[in-house]
Amino acid sequence: MARQAGLDRPVAIKVVLGKYQSQDSAVERFKREAIAVARLRHPNIVTVYDFGIAPDAGTYLVMEYLEGHSLRAEMRQHGALPLESVFAISTQISAALDAAHRAGVVHRDVKPDNVFLASTPGGTVAKILDFGVAKLVDASDPERDPLTGINARIGTPAYMSPEQCEGRTVDPRSDVYALGGMVFEMLTGRPPFIADSIAGLIYQHVHNPPEPPSRFRPGLSAEVETAVLRALAKDPPERFASASAFAERSIQDRGTIRVMQTCRFPACSPLEA
């Protein structure tokens, strides 16, 4: 944590370490993240205040300071999460992804490590982090991504969509796939695919259907299971068209929604009925 003197507020500073400072890819990743988040203003997306290069500090990002921990840490401690927490987190992250997609930003690395559970006076707020490998869509040429090579595999193998695994064009439905994998893991305590190698993971994403999450969480409603499996469809047109459509479909079971009344996440409030 640092303090921004001019505005007297705490901030978090992310820097490129000296040994990476000469690597164009590291600097470009920082620049990409700054440009991506500068397009976005959303309560569930971390706010970036500044980007620059200082002679004595190197390349840096200045971001809002958050207290709390990552979703990865939450699951490492508790395993599968209560349904109310799963629905609340997925609702908030879905809203953030929709906002990013409307602004022409595809995250490409949605995973528990990049979701932060921030402690606030109103409760825990889920925020999506790290847009360093985001795809910035050029409205004049949606297929063009000047910072990514052709047929490049971008993302984290455990959560990459089949089209990412094969180096094909990505769009918002690629983030829907990763969100589906993250929700699968929140529900079951494990990702949809597990392998001993990156090649093994990629093969499963491209070729193997995921196990039904109810196999690992007995009693899970058919509505939720169907929604998760649709989000994880191999063919993008078979997935939900938006992250929010996935979140809405996964909580259609009104009996399931009632358990959200004890949720510590603010997103639960408007969903209670």
Assigned token pair, 172 = 């918002």
DSSP E strands in 24-183: the ranges are: 48-54, 58-64, 68-70, 105-106, 115-120, 123-128, 135-136
Query: Are β-strands 68-70 and 105-106 bridged in parallel, bridged antiparallel, or unpaired?
Result: unpaired
3-class SS string, 1-25: CEEECCCCEEEEEEECCHHHCCCHH
> Phi and psi at residue 116, in whole multiples of 5°?
-110, 135
d(CA 65, CA 215): 39
Single out the catalytic residue among 8, 98, 109, 235. Answer: 109
Active site residue 109: yes
Query: How many Cα atoms occupy the beta-carbon half-sphere of 15 within 13 Å?
Result: 14
d(CA 167, CA 123): 39
Closest CA to 97 of 83, 113, 109, 81: 109
Q: Which residue do the tokens 């200082």 mark?
A: 54
CA distance between the termini of the chain: 40
Closest CA to 228 of 174, 193, 192, 255: 192
d(CA 131, CA 112): 14
Known catalytic residues are 109
